[in-house]
Amino acid sequence: MRIHGIKFDDTKNEGTGSVTKMERRKFLKMGFAIAGVFAGGKILGLTSIVGSARASDGIEVEAYPYSPHYSMVVRQAICIDCERCVDACKKTNHVPDYGYRTRILTKKYEGKWDKAVEFIPVLCNHCNNPPCVRGCPTKATYKDPITGIVRMNSKKCIGCKTCILACPYDARYFCEEKRAIDKCDFCWDERLSKGEKLTACAAACPTGARTFGNIADPDDIVYKLVHQAEEVVWVLRPEDNTKPNVFYMKGTIGSVERILKGTKYRYFDPTKI
Amino acid sequence: MSEVEISISEKWGYNGLAAIKEASTAYKMAMGFFALLFLVGLAFGLHGFFVGYRHVYGVTREIAWGLLISTYIFCVVTSTGLCIVSSFGHVFGNVAFMPIAKRAVFMSIVFLVGGFCIIFFDLENPFRLFIWNVVSPNLRSNMWWMGTLYGAYMVFMMLEYYCLLNQNHSVSRIMGFLGLAVGIAAHSNLGGIFGMLHGRPFWYGPYLPIYFIFSAAMSGGCAILFFTTLGARFNPEVMNETMQRAVKAITLLTIYFIVVIMFFTLWKIITGLVSEGKAPVIESFLYGKYAVNFWFFEVFLGMILPLALLIISKGRKYNLIMWVTGIQMIGIFFMRYDIVIPGQMVPVYHSLGVVEASHLLSYTPSWHEIMISIYGVSFVALLYLAGERLFNSHQLQKHEIVPEGAYVCPGCGAIHYMKEGETIEEAMKRHHGGW
């Protein structure tokens, strides 16, 4: 049911009379995918509403509030649970044995699914509306005003653990060595601030299940993966209205390559509306 | 104004350390026992502080708030409750409630400090709190407001108590009102800490801030009944006519608030059962892991038994009141535990259907956590016993030492001074306003 190579911009308006039921269904389905109806909510609406304009019902055109607006897309169908990301994270960020900044969850399907097991990497979602930042009494955890990364200022942490309970993604733990809460900072301290382009986990992943980049840049692969029209993209716990910056899709090994070649996916481009 | 010069100790009803020395051996042994528990608990706390709480506490990454937080909440709920109950009399002028005011305000401060003793050992970096709460405040954080409001609450309560001792009833009334207002703000905000964690469905919503206030009023009534009737065992003289009237009034009030809390609990159960996020917790209360906590401690010991026996006592059977309110305080302790721990038992990824989060989480307090809780509670018990002796059972002076020109107020039991040519009734009206 996927749509290949239709150049919508070049098509003439033929009126609705000549549209067959099948085409109408395809069109609606695509619209739903953009609007994220399959995911149980608006995908684009899950990111910040700052600077947003409503293009049409169900589609919000975004101006992402940070630049670079670091985000990650996890293609969970191609995660093989090798845990190299977890190891790379521990090594890069000096995570103690009793803690973790990222982990891989296992989901077992029963019934007629095409895969019996799926692995879901989880980490800090660097929410645009982070409950941990609101909960912290001393602003020890804060939203970086440039990159949108939720970071820690360890010396201010009083260790009240409110942020641990506020986080709906189990992304935080108390690190004895730092005498503060420790969490994923998209490797800002250890890699990005030193000029690296990828987080340790994304760089270590052998299948490319974690794609890291700048969602504010339409040429970035993360932007393209989130805004493509054909595969459903979702976030974890949308009901908490945290507006996360870690997106999930089933995905395949070829997803990124196809987007780069422009062969398969079409993606939603707000500038052309 | 022709106030008679009297010594501070007489004015305050302060009996000095000699009063403790004169106490019976059993009384001193009880004080020694609690002092010992306090010191042992403190030693456990300091040990944890230096080796790292991670090694000695039962809390985990997922269940980060444990027994210490629930005991802290038990203490501060009781503190706010005592403040609420005391305010009926000496803030709002209801004469029947006045005789309990001094003891209630004293115990309110003691419970608050006891709570602070405990939370000191829960915060990983308690000393940073004093710096960064001031230098880097986050006004959107309930936790910041909790520290700030409870700090202000303690200051007002101490000023109120000082004015009560000094028999400066007009200032004490203002301080009492401010203490009550800040106390209610602080305490509903404590409920708000839980109620605004929207990633935790069991806590989220306006229920807890409201529940905390009514629950505090119930705890306060229960606590003051317990401490008053227990105090009367040590010093039967305390149970004079005005105090008998006060106990009767507070018994009625406590009965009322128990019914309110039953109502709250009933609707918590009914509404929770239809919510996907809350149902696992509610089911664990009804017939799961927390069934004993809920049915026996929280419902039976905390509500049904005290409700029935307080009604039977008619506010007159003081031994019965003492036993039943003492038992109810145990039940109330479990009520607090049943808010804090079960609220964290559903893993955040439970709804994702993953293997790692398929089971409900469990928590068992460690010995360190138990001993530190005992340290806080022993502090309260020790200061209660000391306070009874030091401050002459929180009564004012006995008749023989009422100074010239003053009288013992039949309403509040306090010593009032008459202006020249004023009758006792006129002076009473002046002291207690037009109420």
Q: Check A122 against B64: CB less than 8 A apart.
A: no
Tell whether A85 and A182 lie within a shared domain. yes
Question: Out of B143, B196, B356, whose CB is closest to A160?
Answer: B143
What is d(CA A72, CA A89) in angstroms, rounded to the nearest whole number?
15
> Residue A146: phi, psi to the nearest 5?
-95, -50
What is d(CA B422, CA B417) in angstroms, rounded to the nearest whole number?
10
Rg (CA), chain B: 23
Q: Check B141 against A237: CB less than 8 A apart.
A: no
**Contact (Cβ atoms closer than 8 angstroms) between residue B345 and residue B331:** no
Q: What is the pLDDT of residue B292?
A: 92
Tell whether A98 and A180 lie within a shared domain. yes
End-to-end CA distance of chain B: 23
Give pLDDT tens digits for A114-159: 668 889 999 999 999 899 999 999 999 999 999 989 999 999 999 9
Q: Which of B69, B138, B202 to mutate to test the interface with A (most CBs of A within 10 A)?
A: B138
SS3 A60: strand
Q: Which residues of A64-90 are buried (b: 16+ CB within 10 A; e: fewer)?
A: bbbebbbbbbbbbbbbeeebbbbebbb
Q: Which chain B positions have a beta carbon within 8 Å of A174's beta carbon?
A: 54, 61, 64, 124
Q: What is the pLDDT of residue A150?
A: 93
Q: How many CB atoms lie within 10 A of CB B143?
A: 25
Q: Which chain A positions have a beta carbon within 8 Å of B354's beta carbon?
A: 105-107, 120
User: At which of A121, A151, A186 does a domain end?
Assistant: A186
Give pLDDT tens digits for A182-200: 999 999 988 888 888 899 9
Q: Is residue A75 part of a domain?
A: no
| Overall number of domains in chain A | 2
Domains of chain B in start order, with CATH, are 25-348+355-395 (1.20.1630.10)
In this prediction the ipTM stands at 0.84
Q: How many CB atoms lie within 10 A of CB B267?
A: 12
Q: Is residue A15 part of a domain?
A: no
Tokens 């227990």 correspond to B230
User: At which of A132, A159, A186 does a domain end?
Assistant: A186
Give me the tens of pLDDT residue by residue for chain B, a chain 435 residues long.
Answer: 444 555 666 666 666 777 777 778 888 889 999 999 999 999 999 999 999 888 889 899 999 999 999 999 999 999 999 999 988 887 887 778 888 888 899 999 999 999 999 999 999 888 888 889 889 999 999 999 999 999 999 999 999 888 887 777 778 888 889 999 999 999 999 999 999 998 888 999 899 999 999 999 999 999 999 999 998 888 887 787 778 888 999 999 999 999 999 999 999 999 989 988 888 899 999 998 899 999 999 999 999 999 999 999 888 888 899 999 999 999 999 999 999 999 999 999 988 888 888 888 999 999 999 999 999 999 999 999 988 888 776 765 443 455 666 776 655 556 677 777 777 777 777 776 654
Tell whether A175 and A102 lie within a shared domain. yes
Residues of A with CB under 8 A from a CB of B: 98-99, 103, 105-108, 120, 122, 131, 134-140, 155-162, 164-170, 172-174, 176, 179-180, 236-237, 240-242
**Contact (Cβ atoms closer than 8 angstroms) between residue B173 and residue B91:** yes
Tell whether A60 and A108 lie within a shared domain. no
User: At which of A186, A215, A230 does a domain end?
Assistant: A186
**Contact (Cβ atoms closer than 8 angstroms) between residue B186 and residue B89:** no
Q: Is residue A167 part of a domain?
A: yes
Q: Which chain B positions have a beta carbon within 8 Å of A162's beta carbon?
A: 141-143, 193, 197
H or E stretch at A118:
strand A117-122
Q: Check B61 against A99: CB less than 8 A apart.
A: yes
Q: Which chain A positions have a beta carbon within 8 Å of B61's beta carbon?
A: 99, 164, 170, 172-174
Residues in chain A with pLDDT values less than 50: 1, 31-61
CATH number at residue A119: 3.30.70.20
CA atoms within 13 A on the CB side of A217: 13
Q: Which chain A positions have a beta carbon within 8 Å of B143's beta carbon?
A: 135-137, 160, 162
Alpha-carbon distances, residue B203 vs A255, B278, B281 (angstroms) = 41, 9, 11
Q: How many CB atoms lie within 10 A of CB B192?
A: 19
Amino acid (one-letter) located at A216? A
Amino acid (one-letter) located at A115? K
**Preceding peptide of A68 cis, ω within 30°:** yes
Tell whether A180 and A99 lie within a shared domain. yes
Q: What is the pLDDT of residue A88?
A: 92
Q: How many CB pairs under 8 A join A and B?
A: 133
Domain boundaries, position A118: 80-186
Alpha-carbon distances, residue B325 vs B83, B230, B330 (angstroms) = 18, 10, 9
Encoded tokens for B328: 């109810």
Q: What is the pLDDT of residue A32?
A: 46
Q: Which chain A positions have a beta carbon within 8 Å of B276's beta carbon?
A: none
Q: Check B128 against A157: CB less than 8 A apart.
A: yes
Pair type for strands A180-183 and A210-214: unpaired
Q: Is residue A224 part of a domain?
A: yes
Rg (CA), chain A: 20
H or E stretch at B146:
helix B142-165
Question: Out of B141, B348, B356, whose CB is closest to A137?
Answer: B141
SS3 B260: helix
What is d(CA B79, CA B133) in angstroms, rounded to the nearest whole number?
23
Amino acid (one-letter) located at B426? E
Amino acid (one-letter) located at B16? G
Q: Is residue A248 part of a domain?
A: yes
Q: What is the pLDDT of residue B245?
A: 85
Q: What is the pLDDT of residue A172?
A: 93
Question: Out of A134, A161, A168, whose CB is closest to B64?
Answer: A161
